[in-house]
Structure 1
Amino acid sequence: MSNNSTTFVGLDVHKDSITVACVGAATTDPVIDVGSIGTQQYAIDRLLKRLGGHGRLELVYEAGPCGFWLQRYLASRQQACVVVASSLIPQRPGDRIKTDRRDARNLALALRAGTLTPVHIPTPAQEAFRDVVRAWQQAKRDITAARQRLKSFLLRNDIRYTGQANWSAAHRRWLAQLVLPSRAQQIVCQELIDAISERERRRDRIEAELDRLAPAWDGYPLAHALQAFRGIQKTVAYTVIAEAGDLSRFAHPRHFMAWLGLVPGEHSSGATRRQGPITRCGNRWARTLLVEAAWAYRYSPKVSAIIERRAQTIDPQIRALAWKAQLRLSTRYRRLAARGKHHNVVVTAIARELGAFIWAAARLVTHTAA
């Protein structure tokens, strides 16, 4: 490799080790297996010094459980590094051998060929807020799981609540007064009830911190504006924007839909076009909640008192867009359902279009702020 050329470096990153391979800019340059190094900063500095003699470095590694700390550290050392989505790395159909060394080599070669798709890297502040939102979501799912365990336990013992709403004040009083046949079962029941209470307190603590941090969050103006839309409350708005980051990076609403994983898969050839289920290759946190929000559009268009209260401090342009979304999506839901489409297929199509309205709202909020 020439000392004045670019060296492309593939990194296969794990918890305690990084496997390294590099290749020169010329197509005739062979791939060099550098070996495995530790994840400590001094080990990374030693690698940069070792490879720096070959000219400018461009580094790449797959997005994964190790996050973005390595990219940020390399950027602080004035090194170009991209993080790529593992699902979008080109693979040869006949390649059935996977090792860390091969992964590093393939990354280096793909980076040189320009066939990799980098992921969006949030700022440390954006990632910190996203972590709080995810913790909030996980806490709510923990509550659901704990409640289901209690309901299953009671059903197994033929104990049924005859009231109207589960987890209401009346339901909780009924739970507190339960007397089971044996002491052991009484203890189990109380432990299950206490587990629910503890998880609810944890959710409340995280939500209080989220509300404290939100006004200073750079995505707050858009998250607040999105609550003018039917089906989008704080949970959906905060999650979608915290996961997506700056929506201006999507040049077209279809790009945002693809990032959500809501576009249909396709296997076409010649004159035959076959579209299948959605790709699901995008962000699962945002996709799941957006599909849940889309169920609200199975009803006729209406601005409820709750939406009206939420929308009082929201720009009239956003409110008009939200009403336009109601008119279009409710009509589209009825038409698709009338054609005999399965309700899950229908609501997924509505979620995809709702993503386009969110993208349009982001453009309005950005324009207003400017």
Structure 2
Amino acid sequence: MHRGRQPEKNDVADAEAIVEAAQRPTMRFVEPKTKEQQSRAIVFRTREQFVNQRTELVNALRAHLYEFGYVAPQGIGHLPRLAEIVEDESADLPDLVRDICSALLDQIEQLSSRLAALKKTIDTLSKQAATSRRLQTMPGVGPIAALAIETFAPPMEAFKCGRDFAAWLGLVPRQKSSGGKQRLGKVSKMGQRDIRRLLIIGAMAVVRWASRRRAPDGSWLARLMLKKPRMLVAIALANKMARGIWAMLTKQEDYRDPATVPA
């Protein structure tokens, strides 16, 4: 909390600021995480670190081969192509460079194995938790996203409505309104980044599926896909998913397709 006009920081000033904050009617408090939530958070943070390390190694490998005229697109999906170049004896690569690239490939393989093991751990945890199983009934929410919501999100009772939960995730436009004129900007990105990113990824998967198999004519998703860019549609769908998640967890119900819900 900002200490207002107090110029110095000390224990007394901090205690006064805490007391003042506790007395404010609009102050929002966060419940401390349980040991189980902290343990699951470590799993997610470790997985994120391994993914970043593997990406760094793949980029380094691609950059090294580029120096000798071998070009490959970005992404882990093109790693086999890089491995073929390194293993090809006819490729014009110095022995020293080939050895370095082989060492990078070994490290990438080790990280991929550890990521696969963590994925199995997350899948097991998501199957054991009733909340995670319920969340996975929603299209676009997989084991990782479901467990992330259970790990990082506060109790849904802390939010008055689904829109508050979506706003907490940063899935709402940034407001720059003034003088009675409403101006909305890009997504605020002010909330929990792990859940927000996973919901957008899941929403993008739903959008891709709908574009291939055609969403039902007249549906909300079909109308939005006709007039908006794909990424914007995915963010709007992620917002809708967040509101649906709030409803599912507060009412203790599985996902229901809007098309099958009676009016």
1:152/1:100 CA distance change after superposition, 3 Å: farther
- Give 1:100 deviation, angstroms: 4.9
The answer (yes or no) to whether the contact 2:224–2:233 under 8 Å persists in 1 is yes
Q: Is 1:110–2:21 an aligned residue pair? A: yes
Match of 2:163 in 1: 254
Task: Give the Cα–Cα distance (whole angstroms) in 1 for the partners of residues 206 and 220 of structure 2.
Answer: 6
Q: Aligned partners of 2:209 and 2:119: how far apart in 1?
A: 32
Between the aligned partners of 1:327 and 1:235, the Cα distance in structure 2 is: 31
Q: Which residue of 2 aligns with 1:221?
A: 130
Distance in 1, matches of 2:233 and 2:14, equals 40
- Residues 115 and 354 (structure 1), Cα distance of their counterparts in 2 relative to 1, 3 Å cut: closer
| 2:177 paired residue number | 268
Residue 245 of structure 2 is aligned to residue 351 of structure 1: no
Cα 1:330–1:171, aligned 2, differ >3 Å: closer, same or farther?
farther
Q: Give the aligned partner of residue 331 of structure 1.
A: 222
d(CA) in 1 for partners of 2:31 and 2:114?
30
Note if 1:147 corresponds to 2:147.
no
Give SS of 1:166's match. Answer: helix
Q: 2:86, 2:98 within 8 Å by CA — same for their partners in 1?
A: no
- Return closer, same or farther for 1:105/1:228 CA change in 2, 3 Å cut-off: same
Aligned to 1:49: none
- Would the aligned equivalents of 1:231 and 1:294 in 2 still touch at CA under 8 Å? yes
Cα distance between partner residues in 1 of 2:155 and 2:192: 14
Cα pair 1:266 1:276 within 8 Å, conserved: yes
Check if 1:208 corresponds to 2:120.
yes
Pairing 1:65-214 to 2, within 5 Å after superposition: 89=1, 99-100=9-10, 102-160=13-71, 166-168=78-80, 172-177=83-88, 179=91, 181-214=93-126
Distance 1:138 1:252 in 2: 34
Deviations 1:154-175 (CA, angstroms, capped at 9, x unpaired): 223211459xx6245x764554
Aligned length: 248
Q: Does 1:243 align with 2:152?
A: yes
Per the alignment, do residues 91 and 242 of structure 1 end up closer, same or farther by CA in structure 2, a change over 3 Å counting?
Answer: same
Larger Rg, first or second structure (1 or 2): 1
The 1:358/1:91 distance shift into structure 2, 3 A limit, reads same
Deviation larger for 245-254 or 188-197: 245-254
Q: What residue number does 1:284 align with?
A: 193
Q: Is the 8 A contact 1:126 1:245 kept in 2?
A: no
What SS does structure 2 have at the residue aligned with 1:348? helix
Structure 2 counterpart of 1:44: none
Q: CA deviation at 1:128?
A: 1.3
SS in 1 for 2:136: helix
More helix per residue: 1 or 2?
2
1:196/1:130 Cα in 2 relative to 1: closer, same or farther (>3 Å)? same
The CA deviation at 1:97 is 5.2
More strand by share: 1
Partner AA of 2:133 in structure 1: H
Aligned CA-pair RMSD: 3.5
Percent identical residues: 22
Is there any run of 5+ residues in structure 2 with no aligned partner, and where? 255-263
C-alpha separation in 2, matches of 1:227 and 1:203: 21
1:348, 1:91 → 2: CA distance? 36
Aligned counterparts of 1:199 and 1:114: Cα–Cα separation in 2 = 48
Q: Is the 8 A contact 1:333 1:347 kept in 2?
A: no
TM-score normalised by structure 1 residue count: 0.56
Whether the aligned pair in 2 keeps the contact of 1:133 and 1:238 (CA below 8 Å) is no
Deviations 1:97-128 (A, max 9, x none): 57455555433322233453211322211221
How far 1:199 sits from its partner (Å)? 1.0
Segments of 5+ residues of structure 1 without an aligned counterpart are: 1-88, 305-322
Change (3 A) 1:301 1:277: closer
Larger RCO (CA within 8 A; separation ≥ 6): 2
